[in-house]
Amino acid sequence: GQNIDQPTEMTATEGAIVQINCTYQTSGFNGLFWYQQHAGEAPTFLSYNVLDGLEEKGRFSSFLSRSKGYSYLLLKELQMKDSASYLCAVRDGDYKLSFGAGTTVTVRA
Amino acid sequence: DAGITQSPRHKVTETGTPVTLRCHQTENHRYMYWYRQDPGHGLRLIHYSYGVKDTDKGEVSDGYSVSRSKTEDFLLTLESATSSQTSVYFCAIKGDREAGELFFGEGSRLTVL
Protein backbone atom coordinates (compact mmCIF):
# COMPACT_ATOMS: atom_id res chain seq x y z
CA GLY A 1 0.00 0.00 0.00
CA GLN A 2 0.89 3.64 -0.14
CA ASN A 3 1.07 6.10 2.75
CA ILE A 4 1.87 9.69 1.85
CA ASP A 5 1.71 12.40 4.50
CA GLN A 6 1.84 16.16 4.18
CA PRO A 7 0.55 18.99 6.37
CA THR A 8 -3.02 20.07 5.80
CA GLU A 9 -2.52 23.83 5.81
CA MET A 10 0.22 26.45 5.82
CA THR A 11 0.08 30.23 5.86
CA ALA A 12 2.83 32.63 4.83
CA THR A 13 3.35 36.27 3.93
CA GLU A 14 3.85 37.61 0.44
CA GLY A 15 7.55 37.66 -0.42
CA ALA A 16 8.42 35.01 2.17
CA ILE A 17 9.54 31.39 1.78
CA VAL A 18 7.47 28.33 2.59
CA GLN A 19 8.60 24.71 2.77
CA ILE A 20 6.04 21.93 2.37
CA ASN A 21 7.19 18.56 3.65
CA CYS A 22 6.09 15.18 2.38
CA THR A 23 6.91 11.79 3.87
CA TYR A 24 6.05 8.55 2.17
CA GLN A 25 5.99 4.81 2.73
CA THR A 26 5.21 3.01 -0.49
CA SER A 27 5.45 -0.49 -1.87
CA GLY A 28 7.47 0.72 -4.85
CA PHE A 29 9.24 3.90 -5.87
CA ASN A 30 9.81 5.27 -9.33
CA GLY A 31 9.74 9.00 -8.78
CA LEU A 32 8.17 11.74 -6.67
CA PHE A 33 6.05 14.52 -8.10
CA TRP A 34 4.67 17.82 -6.89
CA TYR A 35 1.53 19.32 -8.34
CA GLN A 36 -0.21 22.65 -7.81
CA GLN A 37 -3.98 22.89 -7.75
CA HIS A 38 -5.92 26.12 -7.58
CA ALA A 39 -9.45 25.94 -6.19
CA GLY A 40 -11.89 24.56 -8.72
CA GLU A 41 -9.17 23.70 -11.22
CA ALA A 42 -7.21 20.66 -12.33
CA PRO A 43 -3.82 19.81 -10.81
CA THR A 44 -0.82 21.03 -12.81
CA PHE A 45 2.66 19.51 -12.76
CA LEU A 46 5.37 21.40 -10.88
CA SER A 47 8.36 19.14 -10.34
CA TYR A 48 9.79 15.63 -10.49
CA ASN A 49 12.54 13.96 -8.46
CA VAL A 50 13.78 10.41 -8.97
CA LEU A 51 17.32 10.77 -7.57
CA ASP A 52 18.35 12.22 -4.22
CA GLY A 53 18.99 15.93 -4.16
CA LEU A 54 17.57 19.28 -5.04
CA GLU A 55 15.88 20.24 -8.30
CA GLU A 56 15.44 23.95 -8.86
CA LYS A 57 12.98 25.50 -11.25
CA GLY A 58 12.63 29.24 -10.91
CA ARG A 59 11.00 30.17 -7.60
CA PHE A 60 10.17 26.53 -6.88
CA SER A 61 12.61 23.85 -5.71
CA SER A 62 12.01 20.23 -4.76
CA PHE A 63 14.19 17.96 -2.68
CA LEU A 64 14.22 14.19 -2.33
CA SER A 65 15.82 11.75 0.11
CA ARG A 66 14.90 8.21 -0.88
CA SER A 67 16.55 6.62 2.16
CA LYS A 68 14.41 8.76 4.47
CA GLY A 69 11.24 8.60 2.40
CA TYR A 70 11.14 12.37 2.47
CA SER A 71 10.64 15.24 0.08
CA TYR A 72 9.96 18.93 0.34
CA LEU A 73 8.74 21.63 -1.99
CA LEU A 74 10.23 25.07 -1.42
CA LEU A 75 8.37 28.12 -2.64
CA LYS A 76 10.42 31.32 -2.63
CA GLU A 77 9.41 34.96 -3.06
CA LEU A 78 5.80 34.05 -2.44
CA GLN A 79 3.16 35.77 -4.54
CA MET A 80 -0.59 35.96 -3.98
CA LYS A 81 -1.11 33.70 -6.99
CA ASP A 82 0.79 30.94 -5.16
CA SER A 83 -2.23 30.47 -2.87
CA ALA A 84 -3.28 26.94 -3.83
CA SER A 85 -3.13 23.31 -2.78
CA TYR A 86 0.15 21.49 -3.31
CA LEU A 87 -0.01 17.76 -3.87
CA CYS A 88 2.81 15.31 -3.25
CA ALA A 89 2.62 12.11 -5.33
CA VAL A 90 4.71 8.96 -5.58
CA ARG A 91 4.88 6.73 -8.63
CA ASP A 92 5.30 3.01 -8.25
CA GLY A 93 6.87 0.74 -10.85
CA ASP A 94 3.65 0.37 -12.84
CA TYR A 95 3.16 4.03 -13.80
CA LYS A 96 0.53 4.60 -11.13
CA LEU A 97 0.66 7.79 -9.07
CA SER A 98 -0.52 7.82 -5.46
CA PHE A 99 -1.25 11.23 -3.98
CA GLY A 100 -1.12 12.73 -0.54
CA ALA A 101 -4.17 14.65 0.67
CA GLY A 102 -2.58 17.97 -0.26
CA THR A 103 -1.36 21.06 1.57
CA THR A 104 -3.37 24.26 1.26
CA VAL A 105 -1.07 27.27 1.21
CA THR A 106 -2.52 30.68 1.91
CA VAL A 107 -0.42 33.71 1.05
CA ARG A 108 -1.26 36.87 2.98
CA ALA A 109 -0.42 40.41 1.95
CA ASP B 1 -2.39 21.64 -23.14
CA ALA B 2 -2.43 17.83 -23.35
CA GLY B 3 -5.62 17.75 -25.43
CA ILE B 4 -7.82 16.15 -22.77
CA THR B 5 -11.53 16.82 -22.60
CA GLN B 6 -13.97 15.39 -20.08
CA SER B 7 -17.73 15.18 -20.45
CA PRO B 8 -20.02 15.99 -18.89
CA ARG B 9 -18.36 18.65 -16.77
CA HIS B 10 -21.25 18.72 -14.32
CA LYS B 11 -23.93 16.16 -13.63
CA VAL B 12 -26.62 15.69 -11.01
CA THR B 13 -28.25 12.28 -10.82
CA GLU B 14 -30.26 10.13 -8.47
CA THR B 15 -29.20 7.12 -6.45
CA GLY B 16 -29.45 3.91 -8.43
CA THR B 17 -29.10 5.40 -11.88
CA PRO B 18 -26.22 4.53 -14.23
CA VAL B 19 -23.71 7.24 -15.09
CA THR B 20 -20.94 7.30 -17.69
CA LEU B 21 -18.15 9.85 -17.76
CA ARG B 22 -16.07 10.23 -20.87
CA CYS B 23 -12.42 11.19 -21.23
CA HIS B 24 -11.20 12.04 -24.71
CA GLN B 25 -7.60 12.72 -25.74
CA THR B 26 -6.23 13.87 -29.06
CA GLU B 27 -2.53 12.99 -28.76
CA ASN B 28 -2.46 9.18 -28.87
CA HIS B 29 -1.16 8.65 -25.34
CA ARG B 30 -1.02 5.06 -24.18
CA TYR B 31 -1.71 5.49 -20.47
CA MET B 32 -4.97 6.98 -19.20
CA TYR B 33 -6.28 7.24 -15.64
CA TRP B 34 -9.43 8.01 -13.70
CA TYR B 35 -9.11 9.61 -10.26
CA ARG B 36 -11.66 10.92 -7.82
CA GLN B 37 -10.97 13.82 -5.48
CA ASP B 38 -12.69 14.31 -2.16
CA PRO B 39 -11.93 16.68 0.73
CA GLY B 40 -9.43 15.15 3.12
CA HIS B 41 -8.54 12.30 0.76
CA GLY B 42 -6.80 13.95 -2.09
CA LEU B 43 -6.75 12.21 -5.45
CA ARG B 44 -7.44 8.48 -5.39
CA LEU B 45 -6.96 6.19 -8.37
CA ILE B 46 -10.08 4.37 -9.56
CA HIS B 47 -8.92 2.59 -12.71
CA TYR B 48 -6.25 3.04 -15.31
CA SER B 49 -5.53 1.83 -18.83
CA TYR B 50 -2.26 0.97 -20.52
CA GLY B 51 -3.68 0.41 -23.98
CA VAL B 52 -6.80 -0.41 -25.95
CA LYS B 53 -8.79 -3.01 -24.01
CA ASP B 54 -6.04 -3.11 -21.32
CA THR B 55 -7.25 -1.82 -17.98
CA ASP B 56 -6.54 -2.43 -14.32
CA LYS B 57 -7.97 -1.48 -10.95
CA GLY B 58 -6.79 1.27 -8.67
CA GLU B 59 -7.26 1.65 -4.93
CA VAL B 60 -10.97 2.62 -5.01
CA SER B 61 -12.40 0.59 -7.90
CA ASP B 62 -15.48 -0.89 -6.18
CA GLY B 63 -18.66 0.32 -7.85
CA TYR B 64 -16.86 1.50 -11.00
CA SER B 65 -16.09 -0.07 -14.34
CA VAL B 66 -14.11 1.25 -17.30
CA SER B 67 -13.75 0.61 -20.99
CA ARG B 68 -11.24 1.61 -23.61
CA SER B 69 -12.25 0.49 -27.07
CA LYS B 70 -10.26 3.24 -28.82
CA THR B 71 -6.95 4.89 -27.93
CA GLU B 72 -8.57 8.29 -27.59
CA ASP B 73 -11.49 7.43 -25.31
CA PHE B 74 -11.53 6.14 -21.74
CA LEU B 75 -14.99 5.71 -20.22
CA LEU B 76 -15.82 5.47 -16.52
CA THR B 77 -19.17 3.91 -15.63
CA LEU B 78 -21.03 3.89 -12.36
CA GLU B 79 -23.50 1.04 -12.86
CA SER B 80 -25.76 2.15 -10.02
CA ALA B 81 -24.71 5.47 -8.53
CA THR B 82 -24.64 5.95 -4.76
CA SER B 83 -24.33 9.11 -2.68
CA SER B 84 -20.80 8.06 -1.68
CA GLN B 85 -19.81 8.47 -5.32
CA THR B 86 -20.52 12.19 -5.20
CA SER B 87 -17.13 13.60 -6.08
CA VAL B 88 -15.00 15.40 -8.61
CA TYR B 89 -13.62 12.99 -11.17
CA PHE B 90 -10.39 13.72 -13.02
CA CYS B 91 -9.09 11.97 -16.08
CA ALA B 92 -5.35 12.03 -16.74
CA ILE B 93 -2.86 10.91 -19.35
CA LYS B 94 0.82 10.07 -18.89
CA GLY B 95 2.99 12.45 -20.86
CA ASP B 96 5.84 11.43 -23.12
CA ARG B 97 8.65 13.34 -21.45
CA GLU B 98 11.27 11.54 -19.35
CA ALA B 99 9.44 12.30 -16.10
CA GLY B 100 6.26 10.76 -17.40
CA GLU B 101 4.17 13.24 -15.45
CA LEU B 102 0.42 13.09 -15.58
CA PHE B 103 -1.64 15.76 -17.27
CA PHE B 104 -5.17 16.19 -15.99
CA GLY B 105 -8.45 17.04 -17.63
CA GLU B 106 -10.64 19.82 -16.23
CA GLY B 107 -12.67 17.47 -14.05
CA SER B 108 -16.27 16.28 -13.92
CA ARG B 109 -18.31 17.19 -10.88
CA LEU B 110 -20.87 14.49 -10.09
CA THR B 111 -23.59 14.85 -7.49
CA VAL B 112 -25.67 11.80 -6.56
CA LEU B 113 -28.84 12.68 -4.68
**Best to test chain A binding among B4, B43, B97 (most A CBs inside 10 Å):** B43
Which of B27, B55, B35 has the alpha carbon at shortest distance from B104? B35
Output the pLDDT for position A31: 94
Going by their DSSP bridges, the two strands A84-91 and A103-108 should be labelled as antiparallel
Are the beta carbons of B4 and B104 closer than 8 angstroms?
Answer: yes
Mean pLDDT across B12-31:
96
Task: With a cut of 60, say whether residue B1 has pLDDT above it.
Answer: no
Average pLDDT, chain B: 95
For residue B8, say if its preceding peptide bond is cis, omega within 30 degrees of 0: yes
pLDDT band of residue B2 (cuts 50, 70, 90) is low
pLDDT beyond 70 at A39: yes
What is the predicted pLDDT for the residue at A25?
94
pLDDT tens per residue, range B33-79: 999 999 888 899 999 999 999 999 999 999 999 999 999 999 999 99
Q: pLDDT for A54-92, tens place per residue?
A: 999 999 999 999 999 999 999 999 999 999 999 999 998
Residue B15 contacts A where some CB pair is shorter than 8 Å: no
Among candidates B99, B103, B106 on the partner chain, residue whose Cβ is nearest the Cβ of A48: B99
What backbone torsions phi and psi does residue A26 show, to the nearest 5 degrees? -130, 160
Is the Cβ–Cβ distance between B23 and B102 less than 8 Å? no
